[in-house]
Amino acid sequence: MQINKIKKDMTEILSNVFDGATIMVGGFGEAGSPIELLHGLIDKGTKDLTIIANNSGNGRVGLGALIGQRQVKKVICSFARSAKGVTFPELYNKGEIELEVVPQGTLAERIRAAGSGIPGFYTATGVGTPLAEGKEEKIFNGKKYILEEALKADFAFVKAETADRYGNLTYNKTARNFNPIMCMAADTSLVQVKNILEPNEINPEHVITPGIFVQSLINIENPIIETNAIEEGMTYP
């Protein structure tokens, strides 16, 4: 029997996602954002989610739509303000969604650490700022650092460009961003991918995320382009 991580539809790939789960959502703005997987979660109606992502969604598409459906109780991100953000500000200003602000590099490193079996690390980022409050400090070579802890998740929702049935992934340009490290840090990584190739068609030298970090794949050939969808006034559902 052959290994095959490709699922036949959205219901199958999302079947194990549960209420109260912590989900890492890849992407930097719209680049690399797994919009179809997020829409699948809206259809499924999964609730009380904690989302770890760089941003907090635009318009009422993708992450913006999931937040708008009140399926998210907390967002952990570096930048929750965006010109096109609608749903997060609405709920945040009413005190109906929680926010943990993390410096972008610390967010990336906490995710990378979790995926690498490193429970915490010291960093100079944030020292002397409000985001250092309550964190352990330590001096190395005369310079002050703060302790940051690894950030794990039950699931990662990721968008990739190309995959094979083993889960080997490549990305497109800056749509790579958080996606590879989120695949490493989550117990289960769910990947929507534009192209699925035969295993011998991806050069091993070009694989960015080796298949060991990926559990399930779904083929989304023509993903929604967020900018266009928002301009066209799309809302989901």
Partner 1 sequence: MININTNDLIKGWDRNTIASKIANDLPHSSYVNLGIGMPELVSQYIKEDREIIYHSENGLLGMGPSPNENEIDLDLINAGKKPVSVLPGGSFCHHADSFSMIRGGHIDYCVLGAMEISVTGDLANWSTGKGIPAVGGAMDLVAGAKNVFVMTQHLTKDGKPKLVQKCTLPLTGAAVVSRIYSDYAVLDITDTGFKVIQLNEDITIEYLQSVTDGNIYQ
Give the chain's end-to-end CA distance (angstroms, integer): 39
**What span, in angstroms and rounded, lies between the C-alpha atoms of 177 and 76?**
16
**CA separation, residue 12 to residues 71, 200, 209, 221 (Å):** 20, 26, 22, 18
* Residue 178 lies near partner 1 (rule: CB under 8 A): yes
Q: Write down the least CB distance from residue 175 to partner 1, Å.
A: 4
Can you tell me whether residue 47 is helix, strand or coil?
coil
Measured from the CB atom, the residue of 19 and 96 that comes closer to partner 1 is: 96
* Residue 181 lies near partner 1 (rule: CB under 8 A): yes
* Residue 111 lies near partner 1 (rule: CB under 8 A): yes
Q: Which residues contact 94 (CB under 8 A, 6 or more apart)?
A: none
* Residue 124 lies near partner 1 (rule: CB under 8 A): yes
Choices 60-68, 150-158, 175-183, 213-221 (CB under 8 A): range interacting with partner 1? 175-183
In this structure, how many other beta carbons lie within 10 angstroms of the beta carbon of residue 144?
Answer: 13
Q: Which of residues 69-88 bind partner 1 (CB under 8 A)?
A: 78-82, 88
Measured from the CB atom, the residue of 32 and 167 that comes closer to partner 1 is: 32
**What span, in angstroms and rounded, lies between the C-alpha atoms of 62 and 42?**
9
Measured from the CB atom, the residue of 154 and 161 that comes closer to partner 1 is: 161
Q: Which residues contact 214 (CB under 8 A, 6 or more apart)?
A: 5, 163, 167, 168, 169, 183, 189, 191
* Residue 223 lies near partner 1 (rule: CB under 8 A): no
* Residue 30 lies near partner 1 (rule: CB under 8 A): yes
* Residue 180 lies near partner 1 (rule: CB under 8 A): yes
Q: Which of 175, 217, 218, 229 binds partner 1 (CB under 8 A)?
A: 175
CA dihedral 179, 180, 182, 183 (to 10 degrees): 110
Q: What is the total count of residues that contact partner 1 (CB under 8 A)?
A: 49
* Residue 237 lies near partner 1 (rule: CB under 8 A): no
Residues in touch with partner 1 (CB under 8 A): 28-32, 54, 78-82, 88-89, 92, 99, 101-106, 108-109, 111-112, 123-131, 171-181, 208, 225-227
